[in-house]
Amino acid sequence: MKILIYLGHPAQFHFFKNIISRLSADGHQVKILLKTKDMLEELTQANGFEYENIQKINRRNTKISILYAAFKRTLHVIQIARRFKADILLGTDASVAQAGTILRKPAITTLEDDITVISKLARLTYPFSASIVVPTVCKVGKWEYKKIAYDGYMKLAYLHPNYFTPDKKIVEKYILEEKYLIIRLAQLTAHHDEGIKGLNKNLVRKIIDIAEQKGYRVYISSEAELDKRFSDYQLKINQNDIHHLMAFASLLISDSQSMSVEAAMLGVPSIRFSDFTGRISVLEELEHKYQLTFGIRTKNAEELPERVIELLSHEGLLSLFQERRKVMLADKIDVTAFMVWFIENYPASARILKENPDYQYRFRGIQKEVEKESKKIHSVSTQTEKISEKNLSTYKKLSRFAAKSDFTLSTYRNLLITIQQAGYAFYTFEDWCLGKAQGKYVILRHDVDLKASHSLATAKIEAEMGIRSSYYFRVVPQSNQPAIIRAIAALNHEIGYHYEDMSLYNGDVEKSIQHFEKQLAYFREFYPVKTITMHGSPTSKWDNRDLWKSYNYRDYGIIGEPYLDLLTPDSLSKGKIAYFTDTARMWNGDKYNVRDKRILEVREAKVNKKLKGLIIHSSFDFINWLKTEPPVNALMITTHPQRWTDNLPEWFMEWTLQRLKNTVKQLFYVQK
């Protein structure tokens, strides 16, 4: 898909930056247009995005200049979109919507202001928009039928903990004080800012005096040229770093609506001093429902110093706001994951959300259940620390051993890095079934047999690296952990059903298919499951794939089963794909494999000349092979995440149990 995105403000760049990266990683072509506005162009350059500036000179702040600039932008967008052959257009500006109508291409408008605040922009934009994607609380007037409401905020697209982690080291490049506050002065020049007042010099001076009396250092960030009397307070930084500085600030005082929302996303107390107070639904919700910001109208200027004194005198303020932030995050979705899905599946996605608005909660980023699971994981880590305190010498020896050993998370990360460096792109199995896998690629799949929390650990590593993979869950409690499934789906990974129905019902086909239907519906509550993979069930005499001798899984909306659609003897023998699995806690554990007979036969016969004689036992062997530029363009890699951990007691327990399992399998289950 060819996607054109227009950026008109630094906040819009931040909103789209992770979305653009995800779309590009999924193989879409993204064309970025922008205009000269504050630090917008510098931000885009600094983050390595290619773009085209369609308004290089700042317009004057008059009605005629505004209209003329808008007309020229629309012409530019039309010309570029036609040349680019865009399939879909996105942005906030009216030029995007108007160009989409003229070109007969869908134009999606994304913003978070109420129509009462941006009435002029709305009249020029909404009639031409195919969909208006806004937070649920936003009002769009008579264009409600075009509204696609999501339970989140635009700023969560880049400040959600899935995408942003504050870094104290970045702060220390500019600020050494532990206690500091930031004053943000906006340049109110947008057409909807007419008649709006904000902070003045006298109020800024009062705030500085109050803060310094209480031992706080003051820094001022300003869009316009700063008055010379405040030059000693000016914050001069790389604009990519501003959110790290905000995250560790004690307080933000601003007449910028955008930065007030950003502070709330970070759990930082903020006071917004503006006549927009009381008029913007997003900020009203953040203030009155979540108590994450405070608004003061300019006519009530005397309240501002009083509120500053009150907040700076509150000893537990920062902890309180972090708790409030957790409540907000538990309610909201992962906006980036939602937007990527919405764009990739448009217009079907719009229809789905109109019919079932709750579908969006599949992209919920953090939930109370996930937090409980995290506490359990933290509890295990704490127990490990206590063990180390009791026997530090032994612990250090084990640490050194594990650092050099396989199946740790650090080794897993290194394997993924090496795959990327070898030039392979990552795809889910669902992507492959839809024909999206192109060039050199790896289909990364995980069978979640046990210890679901380990899968969350690998999923987080992959998400940090921009990798999407497929996670297949069984129905047993050790695998079927709803909080974990939701968390992994929120990281934008594929969820599938790891079916074992024939084994559970001793070959009874009718009971097995009934159970399959029920469990498939259950897992579709977390993700629109389109692919499945059988569980080997080594202690059962039944092969779960035999269910499809009586039924067709495609009748249930399933588009792929790897053992029946991809890992066939023909594909493997002709070198169309190479298959690697960590079965038996090694990468050449075929002799311990009970069910993968087709794959085993191909390897034993050494029909695949490209892999003839290849021995990959450990992950380190795998890494070294990948560094040799292997002559294989397509790989499927299957892991069992319960085997991968940095928790030493669990690592050694898994190592011991797997050796025992291998012995039992070879003696009793594996057919020779």
- Segment 212-235, tens digit of pLDDT: 999 999 999 887 778 888 889 999
Secondary structure of 591-615 in the HEC alphabet? Answer: HHCCCCHHHHHHHHHCCCHHHCCCC
Could you give the percent of the chain with pLDDT greater than 70? 85
* pLDDT one-digit tens code per residue, 561-582: 999 999 876 666 555 788 899 9
Beta strands in 92-239 (DSSP E): 107-110, 131-135, 147-150, 180-185, 217-222
Domain identity same for 138 and 180: no
Mean pLDDT along residues 481-488: 90
501 and 578 together in one domain: yes
Q: Which two tokens stand for residue 157?
A: 């697209």
The pLDDT score that the predictor gives to residue 306 is 94
* Res 597 pLDDT > 70: no
174 and 133 in a single domain? The answer is no
Q: Summarize pLDDT for 139-175 with one digit per residue, the tens.
A: 999 999 999 999 999 999 999 998 999 999 999 999 9
C-alpha separations of 649 from 212, 450, 658 in Å: 51, 16, 14
What pLDDT was estimated at residue 228?
85
**More reliable by pLDDT, 405 or 26:** 26
**CA dist., res. 30 & res. 49, Å (int):** 10
CA distance linking residue 419 with residue 623, whole number of Å: 8
| Residue that finishes a domain, picked among 280, 304, 331 | 331
Residue 87 is predicted with a pLDDT of 95
Are 386 and 323 contained in the same domain?
Answer: no
Rounded to two decimals, the pTM is: 0.56
CATH number of the structural domain spanning residue 416: 3.20.20.370
Residue 405 lies in a domain: no
Question: Considering 101, 124, 151, which residue would you say is the last residue of a domain?
Answer: 151
Paired sense of beta strands 441-448 and 217-222, if any: unpaired
Is the pLDDT at 392 greater than 70? The verdict is no
Q: Among 306, 331, 356, give the residue marking a domain's end.
A: 331
Question: What mean pLDDT do residues 464-486 have?
Answer: 92
Q: Is 184 helix (H, G, I), strand (E, B) or coil?
A: strand
In a domain, 355, yes or no: no
Residues 200 and 280 in one domain: yes
Domain presence at residue 341: no
Q: For residue 375, what pLDDT band results from cuts at 50, 70 and 90?
A: very low
What end-to-end distance do the CA atoms of the chain give, in Å? 49
Same domain as 191, residue 143: no
Mean pLDDT of 313-333: 91
Is the domain of 201 the same as that of 280?
Answer: yes
The verdict on 147 and 172 lying in the same domain is no
User: Could you tell me if residue 573 is inside a domain?
Assistant: yes
Residue 368's pLDDT is 40
**667: confidence class by pLDDT, cuts 50, 70, 90:** low
Q: 242-256, 358-372, 533-547: which has the minimum mean pLDDT?
A: 358-372
Predicted local confidence at residue 255, as pLDDT: 85
pLDDT at 452: 93
Comparing 173-182, 184-193, 430-439, 542-551, which segment has the lowest mean pLDDT? 184-193
Residue 190 pLDDT > 50, yes or no?
A: no
Question: What's the mean pLDDT in 635-643?
Answer: 95
Task: Flag the least confident range among 322-336, 358-372, 476-490.
Answer: 358-372
Place of tokens 């892999």: 611
pLDDT of 382 = 41
**pLDDT tops 50 at residue 295:** yes
CATH of the domain at 50: 3.40.50.2000
Q: What is the pLDDT of residue 610?
A: 56
Rg of the chain in Å (alpha carbons): 28
The answer to whether residue 645 is domain-embedded is: yes
Q: Return the percent helix, strand and coil in the chain, to nearest 5.
A: 50, 15, 35
Q: What is the pLDDT of residue 590?
A: 64
Residue-level pLDDT at 605:
36
With pLDDT > 90 as the criterion, what percentage of the chain qualifies?
58
The pLDDT of residue 570: 66
Query: What is the pLDDT at residue 303?
Result: 93
| Domain membership of residue 192 as a residue range | 168-331
Total count of domains within the chain: 3
The whole-number pLDDT of residue 511 equals 96
197 and 287: one domain? yes
The arithmetic mean of pLDDT across residues 380-399, rounded, is 44
Tell me the angle at which helices 368-390 and 392-403 cross, rounded to the nearest 10 degrees.
120
pLDDT of residue 572: 63
Residue 37 and residue 43 in contact, taking contact as beta carbons nearer than 8 Å: no
Check residue 13 and report its DSSP letter: H
| Mean pLDDT over the full length of the chain | 85
Specify whether 529 is located in the same domain as 425: yes
Residue 556: C-alpha distances to residues 501, 519, 559 (Å): 15, 12, 9
Q: Please report whether residue 42 resides in a domain.
A: yes
Residues 494, 473 contacting (CB under 8 angstroms): no
**336 within some domain:** no
Mean pLDDT, residues 534-543 taken together: 86
Has residue 357 been placed in a domain? no
Which stretches of 467-531 are assigned E, i.e. beta strand?
470-473, 494-499
φ, ψ (nearest 5 deg) of residue 134:
-145, 160
Query: Is the confidence at residue 180, as pLDDT, over 50?
Result: yes
Averaged pLDDT, 625-634 = 89
Residues 286 and 328 sit within 8 Å (Cβ to Cβ):
yes
Q: Is residue 295 domain-shared with residue 428, that is, in the same domain?
A: no
Q: What is the mean pLDDT of residues 406-411?
A: 89
Same domain flag for 79 and 40: yes
